[in-house]
């Protein structure tokens, strides 16, 4: 079984940044997405009101980074899917990666279903036995 190497966190942020940069110049992305989301992020970034004050070193800058990353995610989410997929292919970003919403736990096609028997016991009633397909024994 071959495992694909997943990019690190910084590499993924870099890829998303490149994708957002390309999407910002694509006229097929709605204007409210191309202008509105970056404007809101910029407004929060330059605003003196923060969730965590900037004078707390380290933590103060984390909320700014979080808002930038949230803005990038919203930008990608609200852009048309076919445009995002086209730009991902052009950048060489894997469309089937786990970061794209795929489940991280995959079931192999050669795996068999789990079969078993169970017993239902209730107080004051007879013991009933059943199998996985519901037949009594």
pLDDT digits (tens, 9 = 90+) for 121-135: 777 555 444 444 555
> How high is the pLDDT of residue 31?
93
Q: Which is nearest to 92 in space by CA: 3, 34, 30, 7?
A: 7
* Distance separating alpha carbons of residues 114 and 120, to the nearest angstrom: 19
Q: For the ranges 14-18, 63-67, 97-101, 113-117, which has the lowest average pLDDT? A: 97-101
Q: Tell which wins on pLDDT, 9 or 106.
A: 9
pLDDT in tens, 46-100: 887 777 777 777 777 788 888 899 999 999 999 999 999 999 998 888 776 545 4
Q: What are the structure tokens assigned to 137, written together?
A: 């024994």
> How high is the pLDDT of residue 98?
44
Q: Which is nearest to 100 in space by CA: 37, 15, 29?
A: 15
> How high is the pLDDT of residue 57?
76
> Does residue 36 surpass a pLDDT of 70?
yes
> Does residue 104 surpass a pLDDT of 70?
no
Q: What is the pTM of this model?
A: 0.60
DSSP assignment, residue 136? B
> Does residue 13 surpass a pLDDT of 60?
yes
């Amino acid at each position: 079984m071959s495992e694909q190497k997943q990019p690190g966190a910084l590499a993924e942020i870099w890829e998303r940044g490149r994708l957002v940069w390309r999407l910002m110049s694509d006229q097929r992305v709605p204007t409210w997405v191309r202008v509105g989301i970056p404007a809101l992020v910029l407004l929060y970034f330059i605003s003196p009101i923060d969730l965590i004050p900037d004078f707390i070193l380290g933590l103060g800058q984390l909320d700014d980074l979080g808002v930038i990353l949230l803005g990038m995610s919203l930008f990608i989410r609200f852009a048309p899917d076919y445009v995002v997929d086209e730009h991902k292919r052009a950048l060489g970003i894997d469309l089937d990666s786990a970061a794209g919403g795929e489940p991280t736990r995959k079931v192999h096609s050669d795996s068999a279903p789990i079969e078993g028997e169970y017993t239902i016991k209730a107080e004051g009633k007879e013991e009933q036995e059943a199998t996985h397909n519901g037949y009594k024994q």
